[in-house]
Chain A
Amino acid sequence: MTEHILRMTGITKTFPGVTALRDVNLAVRRGEIHAICGENGAGKSTLMKVLSGVYPHGQYEGEITFEGRRCEFGGIRDSERAGIVIIHQELALCPQLSIAENIYLGNERARRGIIDWNRTNYEAGELLKRVGLRENPTTTVADIGVGKQQLVEIAKALSKEVKLLILDEPTAALNDEDSAHLLDLLRGLRDDGITCVIISHKLNEVTAIADSVTILRDGRTIETLDMARDEVTEDRLISGMVGRALDNRFPPRTPSIGEEAFRIEDWTVYSPSQPGRKVVDGASLMLRRGEIVGLAGLMGAGRTELAMSVFGRTYGVHISGRIFKDGRPIEIRTVQDAIRHGIAYATEDRKRYGLNLIDDIKRNISAAGLKGLAKRGWVNEYEEYRVAERFRASMNIKAPGVDSVVGKLSGGNQQKVVLSKWILTEPDVLILDEPTRGIDVGAKYEIYTIINRLAEQGKAVLVISSELPELLGLCDRVYTLSEGRITGEVPREEATQERLMYLMTKGQE
């Protein structure tokens, strides 16, 4: 009988309107590497936030037992004191501080409030040796690469005498060499007796490193597999991760597909923050009039980056590739160019990129197509109001009036405002990035209906989504994207969740 260092039983966590976790169980043995797998939105990160105290005791139901004691963490400090440290996907380092300062941030080596720099740098140096990072502790974090920053995070965790280390997508932003080094380090830490929980989309890594795997789907525990005992292949993991029921949540539609409307070829985009890293790598795809095409990819695959770089170069540097509209090559250098060429992009992050939350519905709807409502620079406010009212009625935006402030609407209604805004620009090509994220089921059906109508009118629609059933229910064709590359193109008839997931998790050869 092996000893469990951590047991989470019956964890349920609800947010207004959604249940993120439902009766989830997780048991981690001492000294193992335990992987957690699941689709985007399966509840992995939420579960880890419950464990680390980001969602404090009382905000969830269920029980956490760590090292044989029941734990009721009130915050991250409590869980760290118990020896649980979480390293998030977005690293939480201060770029302008030195490695040593970052390692001991909030935990300074000080005597009576005065920092002992010699001790700080010496002990930081020892920790760096342990994680295999050959850098001076006084080097500024901004001057080292992401792979090394990841190691600094781990050194920081070690400085807190960590017993359970949680890593959320640790290799998502790393190249192969850095990833391999990191995985080696984790094996070393395991041999030192540190238990690791790793969340990863890269199934080849999971099969290579994990001792056991827990699979989550739709906020529930599906199964826990023992890598030594069970025969666990990537296909085995995929079949556990997918397999959500395809119910009739989708309005019926008979596609009538026309000529090619939009095509990109050999599209390559580099990361603006990590020089030399390709976020999109030679991607090509094509949309036809009246066609709904899906773009599937896991978090970090480069879906949004691909869309935004096409839409007026709003993401990325050193962008190369060709764009064709109706078969003719076009140049899109700015958002204005994109709008002029009849291309619309509805963002995945409504609050940040999509809406002016402090302004009202009508002005948000007119924000991108205002010139169409204006004559010689003067806006026809009455026409603007009338158009907004028409959208409110036809899109069924639930609000007292178009003078209502957008920030107070529900997610579904905000999304309808965003779609209205782009429909007003009369586009031929619509790129909809996660159009149903954070929206309840009823509103989702309405959004699907709108998407179908757009296709019926001959628009070409590209839907980016993390939800495979959504893509299968909606799209005529699905492209899969993995680590910036298009890894497959699957017509509706041949598309299954397993097939898409296989293509989405296919690493670089």
Chain B
Amino acid sequence: MSSITPADVEVGAEGGGGAPKRPGRVSLGGLSLNLRSSGIYIAFALIIALFSVLTDGALLQPQNISNIIVQNSYILILAIGMILIIIAGHIDLSVGSVVAVTGALAAVLMVNMGVAWPLALLITLVAGALIGAWQGYWIAYFGIPAFIVTLAGMLLFRALTLTVLGNQGIGPFPDQVRTLANGFTDGWLGNVGLGPLGGADLFSLLVGIAAIAGMVLAQWRARAARKGYGQAVDSLALFALKMAAGAAVILFLVVQLARFKNLPWVLVLLAVLVLAYSLMANRTVFGRQIYAIGGNLQAAVMSGVKVKSVVFWIFVNMGVLSAIAGVIFAGRLNQAGPTAGNSFELDAIAAAFIGGAAVQGGVGKVVGAITGGLIMAVINNGMSLIGSPSERVMLVKGAVLLAAVAFDVWTKRRAGTAR
């Protein structure tokens, strides 16, 4: 009587009911799309297309693509941590101040005290973790709403920044840190000619091809495994189409970057983080528990999820990612300043919600948050290219945030699952 398998409790074997028509889905020539989960990517593509036209193609020029990535990398890193917190049903308003205080700490260590940069970086990351643990303790174990704790944190860590820096910036940073924040991979393998496109960095191209190969291989193996377990999979043609589209996007991105100055280091870092955190969110017990907590806190408790511990650790994680963003931001400006990171929390939160997170928690994806962040980045960049004043940029970003969440609420209501 050791174990009971589902087959032991056979009840009846008539098949499941027919598939009801699902609202929120559109069908176009046999191609079925879930609007709620893929709407964000369609919107991203449309926004890119719109600004490409408006800027006469300047948006997708090699240097501009590189700029968009480098200028927004820290927001995207913050968005990764923020989406996890929002999925769990919390919020973090302090990340901008944490970016400032960790940047200041790194500057003090590297510039004023002459600590070797790898050690200084490590200390800064640990400091970020401790800041996250401080806030996580009050939220998870003491039971104060995250909104309050991190609002206090926003003030506390800004105050700490000002105390450390006084009223002035500290710089310049060591070359290695600047390279990480602002620099590009070396042209280790030299250039190759790409015909009418001119010369491009061979190493960057090889990385791109490896990325494409990795993606196709991983997806193919997942498809084979699903088939092996008797799951439905996309038809071969649709699979090939999706892979081709993905490959085209990566290839375009890499070729443009290779034509400019090779791969930005922050892009490499971002790619690693996005991949690692996506896997963590979907495939680990810890990641699943974040969704369970946000989806129904009580049910998670009754299922044996250690809610307090999970909430604590996602705030520790946010602290570490804020420290990474803090070093990168300071390194990019080549100095740690008292106003660094102002309103970054709002950009990170907006990225998460534009990227499909639900206000009540339980829903969201790392890739979605990145896409949300990139949507804002493209709007920012595209509008400044066509010379829009900053107030109009702000207006459009606000409207996009509202529209994205309104769309989410609307599809949910139509699907009849609104709570």
Q: In this complex, what residue of A is CB-closest to B5?
A: A390
Knowing A354-B302, A367-B299, say if A449 contacts B11 (CB, 8 Å). Answer: yes
Q: Which residues of A contact B13 (CB under 8 A)?
A: 393, 396
Binds B, one of A42-50, A212-220, A242-250, A356-364: A356-364
Q: Is B239 part of the contact surface with A, judged by Cβ < 8 Å?
A: no
Q: Which residues of B contact A339 (CB under 8 A)?
A: 304
Knowing A367-B292, A367-B299, A421-B303, say if A396 contacts B285 (CB, 8 Å). Answer: no
B299 contacts A355, C-beta separation under 8 Å: yes
A345 contacts B302, C-beta separation under 8 Å: yes
CB A448 to nearest CB in B, in angstroms, measures: 10
B300 contacts A379, C-beta separation under 8 Å: no
Knowing A390-B7, A407-B417, say if A359 contacts B16 (CB, 8 Å). Answer: no
B285 contacts A377, C-beta separation under 8 Å: yes
CB B231 to nearest CB in A, in angstroms, measures: 6
CB A353 to nearest CB in B, in angstroms, measures: 5
Give the contact-size bracket for chain B: 35 or more
CB B184 to nearest CB in A, in angstroms, measures: 34
Expressed in whole angstroms, the Cα–Cα distance for A162 and B289 within the complex equals 51
A394 contacts B303, C-beta separation under 8 Å: no
Expressed in whole angstroms, the Cα–Cα distance for A402 and B73 within the complex equals 37
Q: In this complex, what residue of B is CB-closest to A452?
A: B9
Q: Is A381 part of the contact surface with B, judged by Cβ < 8 Å?
A: yes
Residues 54-87 of chain B, each 1 if its beta carbon lies under 8 Å from chain A, else 0: 0000000000000000000000000000000000
A398 contacts B296, C-beta separation under 8 Å: no
Residues 1-31 of chain B, each 1 if its beta carbon lies under 8 Å from chain A, else 0: 1111111111111101111100000000000
B229 contacts A382, C-beta separation under 8 Å: yes
A398 contacts B417, C-beta separation under 8 Å: no
B6 contacts A387, C-beta separation under 8 Å: yes
B230 contacts A314, C-beta separation under 8 Å: no
Q: Is A70 part of the contact surface with B, judged by Cβ < 8 Å?
A: no
A396 contacts B11, C-beta separation under 8 Å: yes
Q: Is B295 part of the contact surface with A, judged by Cβ < 8 Å?
A: yes
Residues 339-356 of chain A, each 1 if its beta carbon lies under 8 Å from chain B, else 0: 100000101000011111
Q: Is A149 part of the contact surface with B, judged by Cβ < 8 Å?
A: no
CB-contacts of A320-377 with B (<8 A): 334-336, 338-339, 345, 347, 352-359, 363, 366-368, 370-371, 374, 377
CB A331 to nearest CB in B, in angstroms, measures: 16
Q: Which residues of A contact B228 (CB under 8 A)?
A: 382
Q: Which residues of B contact A457 (CB under 8 A)?
A: 1, 4, 8
Contacting residue for B302 out of A347, A390, A458, CB 8 A: A347
What is the interface size of chain A, counting residues whose CB is below 8 A from a CB of the partner?
64
Q: Which residues of A contact B285 (CB under 8 A)?
A: 370-371, 374, 377-379
CB B198 to nearest CB in A, in angstroms, measures: 44
Expressed in whole angstroms, the Cα–Cα distance for A336 and B305 within the complex equals 8
Expressed in whole angstroms, the Cα–Cα distance for A354 and B362 within the complex equals 15
Q: Is A285 part of the contact surface with B, judged by Cβ < 8 Å?
A: no
Q: In this complex, what residue of B is CB-closest to A449?
A: B11
B12 contacts A446, C-beta separation under 8 Å: yes
Q: Is B138 part of the contact surface with A, judged by Cβ < 8 Å?
A: no
B417 contacts A426, C-beta separation under 8 Å: no
Expressed in whole angstroms, the Cα–Cα distance for A352 and B20 within the complex equals 26
Q: Which residues of B contact A355 (CB under 8 A)?
A: 296, 299
Q: Which residues of A contact B8 (CB under 8 A)?
A: 394, 453, 457
B302 contacts A356, C-beta separation under 8 Å: no
Q: Which residues of B contact A408 (CB under 8 A)?
A: 416-417
Knowing A357-B295, A399-B17, A405-B417, say if A335 contacts B302 (CB, 8 Å). Answer: yes
B291 contacts A363, C-beta separation under 8 Å: yes
Q: Is A401 part of the contact surface with B, judged by Cβ < 8 Å?
A: yes
B229 contacts A459, C-beta separation under 8 Å: no
Q: Is A385 part of the contact surface with B, judged by Cβ < 8 Å?
A: yes
Knowing A336-B304, A355-B296, A367-B300, say if A377 contacts B417 (CB, 8 Å). Answer: no
Q: In this complex, what residue of A is CB-closest to B18?
A: A400
B304 contacts A335, C-beta separation under 8 Å: yes
Expressed in whole angstroms, the Cα–Cα distance for A400 and B19 within the complex equals 5
Q: In this complex, what residue of A is CB-closest to B291?
A: A359
Q: Is A395 part of the contact surface with B, judged by Cβ < 8 Å?
A: yes
CB A197 to nearest CB in B, in angstroms, measures: 34
Expressed in whole angstroms, the Cα–Cα distance for A359 and B6 within the complex equals 21
Expressed in whole angstroms, the Cα–Cα distance for A137 and B14 within the complex equals 64
Q: Which residues of B contact A363 (CB under 8 A)?
A: 288, 291-292
Q: Is A389 part of the contact surface with B, judged by Cβ < 8 Å?
A: yes
Q: Which residues of A contact B349 (CB under 8 A)?
A: none
Expressed in whole angstroms, the Cα–Cα distance for A389 and B20 within the complex equals 19
Q: Is B167 part of the contact surface with A, judged by Cβ < 8 Å?
A: no
Q: Is A386 part of the contact surface with B, judged by Cβ < 8 Å?
A: yes
A368 contacts B304, C-beta separation under 8 Å: yes
CB-contacts of B121-156 with A (<8 A): none
A458 contacts B303, C-beta separation under 8 Å: no
Q: Is A391 part of the contact surface with B, judged by Cβ < 8 Å?
A: yes
CB B177 to nearest CB in A, in angstroms, measures: 32
Expressed in whole angstroms, the Cα–Cα distance for A469 and B387 within the complex equals 77
Contacting residue for B292 out of A356, A371, A392, A400, CB 8 A: A356
Expressed in whole angstroms, the Cα–Cα distance for A334 and B225 within the complex equals 37
Q: Which residues of A contact B229 (CB under 8 A)?
A: 382-383, 385-386
Q: Is A222 part of the contact surface with B, judged by Cβ < 8 Å?
A: no
Q: Is B392 part of the contact surface with A, judged by Cβ < 8 Å?
A: no
Q: Which residues of A contact B230 (CB under 8 A)?
A: 386, 389
Q: Which residues of A contact B288 (CB under 8 A)?
A: 363, 366-367, 370, 379
Q: Is A482 part of the contact surface with B, judged by Cβ < 8 Å?
A: no
CB A73 to nearest CB in B, in angstroms, measures: 28
CB A265 to nearest CB in B, in angstroms, measures: 24
B299 contacts A395, C-beta separation under 8 Å: no
Q: Is A423 part of the contact surface with B, judged by Cβ < 8 Å?
A: yes
21 contacts between A and B (CB under 8 A): A314-B301, A314-B302, A335-B302, A336-B304, A354-B299, A356-B295, A357-B417, A359-B292, A367-B303, A368-B303, A377-B284, A386-B230, A394-B6, A394-B9, A394-B10, A395-B11, A400-B16, A401-B16, A426-B2, A454-B4, A454-B9
Given A356-B291, A358-B362, 20 further pairs, Cβ under 8 A: A335-B304, A338-B304, A363-B292, A367-B288, A367-B305, A374-B285, A377-B285, A382-B225, A386-B229, A386-B230, A393-B13, A394-B7, A395-B9, A396-B14, A401-B232, A405-B417, A449-B11, A450-B11, A457-B1, A459-B4
